[in-house]
């Protein structure tokens, strides 16, 4: 389950500063002499893989990156200051392509992988370097060279942070279409979702995560029933699971929220023991079609299992913000652990 997120950006390294052609004008220094310093080097543009990032969404708002130019040289043998570098941080798994040719520039597939995306321009030499016994007052100096410039395409192949679990038709596709720009097909028949749908959820400018609508699981999925192993593999790679259940009013008397929850978790545990131990947020969907007394009863039932049941309606949006905030709490703890291991 890979989420392809793309962005096109323009990057430019800093130009080198020009060297200076200057001469001393000091008392007691006969005939003066060259005193023009070198220009400073421009800044490089680096691109770095950062495991704490999960999407390229920020590049929607900023598409141009330019390092500082080097300062020109000055008189009195003073060299120009170097330009500041620019570092572009992207999620691990980002592939950088040259946009005009489509060729791969670098694949940042490991944490802290670093690549010089655009090389700096070199500062030019001042006239102090061109003094010779037969030319005591050279006027020659070198201009700085230009920094590299290119347009690149970033392509992110990213595993989802949050995976949606639940029986077919519990409202996972409706939920993901409400919280992101993903637009999965939604209909009233089993196995509506045949492939994972992914979207980027933005809670604020600095809080984003990728969420995956995983096709509905049924009893026997660990043995390959329904869509089986194909999608349990995807769940295995998510950081947090959102388990969506619904009331018997919409499912029929042969199912219940707790029974559905337990069936799917048994399938997770059978497929891979660690799966059932992943952090889970459990939400009762379709609150707009569920009686208050039934909601209270379901909450008591899950509380007996030590689970705080959240209530929402993916159709109306009621309660969704609380669910997203609870998911972010789990993700923030995960990111904090990752940062502590760096």
Output the pLDDT for position 24: 80
For residue 67, the 8-state DSSP code is P
Lowest mean pLDDT among 86-95, 147-156, 187-196, 327-336: 187-196
Output the average pLDDT for the chain: 81
Lowest mean pLDDT among 141-145, 227-231, 238-242: 227-231
More confident residue, 168 or 192: 168
In this structure, are residues 139 and 20 in contact, taking their beta carbons and an 8 Å threshold?
no
Query: Which of these, 116, 215, 121, 206, lies nearest to 164 by C-alpha position?
Result: 215
Q: Tokens 């989802």 map to which residue?
A: 160
Output the pLDDT for position 186: 43
Lowest mean pLDDT among 69-73, 77-81, 253-257, 292-296: 253-257
Q: Residue 1: pLDDT above 80?
A: no
Output the pLDDT for position 297: 93
User: Which segments within 57-182 are labelled E, that is strand?
Assistant: 64-66, 86-91, 94-98, 104-108, 114-118, 149-158, 162-165
Confidence band, pLDDT 50/70/90 cuts, at residue 303: very high
Confidence band, pLDDT 50/70/90 cuts, at residue 128: confident
Please write the tens of the pLDDT for every residue from 62-103.
999 999 999 999 888 889 999 999 999 998 888 899 999 999
Q: Residue 8: pLDDT above 60?
A: yes
Lowest mean pLDDT among 99-108, 126-135, 138-147: 126-135
More confident residue, 232 or 201: 201
- Range 48-65 average pLDDT: 86
Output the pLDDT for position 58: 84
Confidence band, pLDDT 50/70/90 cuts, at residue 232: low
Q: How many helices (H) and strands (E) does the chain have?
A: 6, 14
Q: What are the structural domains, with CATH classification, of the chain? A: 3-157 (2.70.210.12), 160-340 (3.40.50.300)
Structure tokens at 240: 């947090």
Confidence band, pLDDT 50/70/90 cuts, at residue 2: very low
Lowest mean pLDDT among 45-54, 104-113, 124-133, 195-204: 195-204
More confident residue, 28 or 4: 28
Alpha-helix runs per DSSP H in the chain = 172-179, 228-236, 248-251, 257-271, 292-303, 320-340
Confidence band, pLDDT 50/70/90 cuts, at residue 116: very high
Radius of gyration of the chain (CA): 30
Please write the tens of the pLDDT for every residue from 177-228.
888 765 544 444 344 434 456 677 888 767 888 887 765 444 443 344 433 3
Output the pLDDT for position 61: 83
The answer to whether the predicted template modeling score (pTM) of the entire model surpasses 0.85 is no
Structure tokens at 292: 């208050």
Residues of the chain with pLDDT > 90, as a percent, come to 40
- Range 239-248 average pLDDT: 88
Output the pLDDT for position 230: 46
Output the pLDDT for position 125: 93
Output the pLDDT for position 16: 95
């Amino acid at each position: 389950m890979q989420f392809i997120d793309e962005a096109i950006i323009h990057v430019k390294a800093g130009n080198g500063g020009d060297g200076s052609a200057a001469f001393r004008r000091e008392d007691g220094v006969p005939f003066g002499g060259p005193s023009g310093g070198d220009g400073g080097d421009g800044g490089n543009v680096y691109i770095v893989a950062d495991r704490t990032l999960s999407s390229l969404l920020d590049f929607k708002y900023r598409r141009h990156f330019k390092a500082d130019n080097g300062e020109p040289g000055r008189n009195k043998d003073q060299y120009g200051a170097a330009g500041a570098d620019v570092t572009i941080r992207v999620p691990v798994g980002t592939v950088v392509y040259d946009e005009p040719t489509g060729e791969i520039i670098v694949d940042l597939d490991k944490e802290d992988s670093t690549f010089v995306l655009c090389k700096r321009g070199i500062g030019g030499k001042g006239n102090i370097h061109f003094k010779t016994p037969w030319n005591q007052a050279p006027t020659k100096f070198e201009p700085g060279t230009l920094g590299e410039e290119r347009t690149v395409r970033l392509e992110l192949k990213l595993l989802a942070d949050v995976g949606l679990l639940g029986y077919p038709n519990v409202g996972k596709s409706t939920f993901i279409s409400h919280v992101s720009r993903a637009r999965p097909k939604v209909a009233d028949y089993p196995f509506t979702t045949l492939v994972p749908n992914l979207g980027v959820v933005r809670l604020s400018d600095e809080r984003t995560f990728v969420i995956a609508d995983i096709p509905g699981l049924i009893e026997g999925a660990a043995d390959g029933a329904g869509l089986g192993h194909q999608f349990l593999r995807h769940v295995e790679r998510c950081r947090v699971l959102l388990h969506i259940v619904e009331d018997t009013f919409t499912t029929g008397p042969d199912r219940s929220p707790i029974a559905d929850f337990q069936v799917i978790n048994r399938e997770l545990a059978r497929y891979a023991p660690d799966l059932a131990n992943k952090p889970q947020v459990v939400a009762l969907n379709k609150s707009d079609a569920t009686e208050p007394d039934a909601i209270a009863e379901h909450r008591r039932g899950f509380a007996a299992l030590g689970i705080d049941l959240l209530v929402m309606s993916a159709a109306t949006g009621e309660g969704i913000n609380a669910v997203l905030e609870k998911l972010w709490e789990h993700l923030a703890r995960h990111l904090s652990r990752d940062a502590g291991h760096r």
